[in-house]
Amino acid sequence: MRLRNVRGSRETIAASPYVVQDGKEKKGLWNKEVFGNGNPIYLEVGMGKGKFLLEHARLHPEVNYVGIEKYSSVLVRALEKRQETELDNLYFLRMDAEELPDCFAPGEVGRIYLNFSDPWPKERHAKRRLTSKEFFRRYDQILRPGGEVIFKTDNRALFEFSLAQVAEAGWQVGACTFDLHGSEYSEGNIMTEYETKFAAEGRPICMLTAYRDV
């Protein structure tokens, strides 16, 4: 995926009060120093332009949200939306998902959302997929007992790969559907920018939840 550079995006991100500039310094301290409460923390990894997470934060003030995005030119678009709200339960981090265990302590996170992640279609890049067993090991390091990963995609091959990886990682599959919008799980579903586009095109959306045995 080739991204168009947004002039001044890094400077905007560095100056924003809604971006935690060094997540490693907040490891184990997110509730105390960032949010100032004891509410559960949910992450969206690869949050894109932020539509999904902003809507969740509006609907669920009892939850703390952190949006993870490694591309400055994308994160700055989410910031534009964030600045129009008065939410106090949503912050962003510009970082690579490989660094998650460096920024969050064991058991500090309650849920991880993965929405329309890069499929990395070449087999040699399989370890980079956010639903690879390598990434599930990282999630295992930061999720609390009973925590879960929720994954949505329009890519059937990536979804089938992900189902196999859940098992290989020693996790369990909970909810699972190859047609989210036509399933029992559609009620309350919040759509991302990509999902809105794909649904309008009639493309089925796959969804699964994965959890560790407590």
Active-site residue numbers?
118
- Cα–Cα distance between 180 and 195 in angstroms, integer? 11
H-only helix segments in the chain = 9-15, 51-59, 72-82, 100-103, 133-142, 156-168, 193-200
d(CA 134, CA 149): 14
Two structure tokens written together for 53:
């997470």
CA nearest neighbour of 113 among 140, 127, 89, 131 = 131
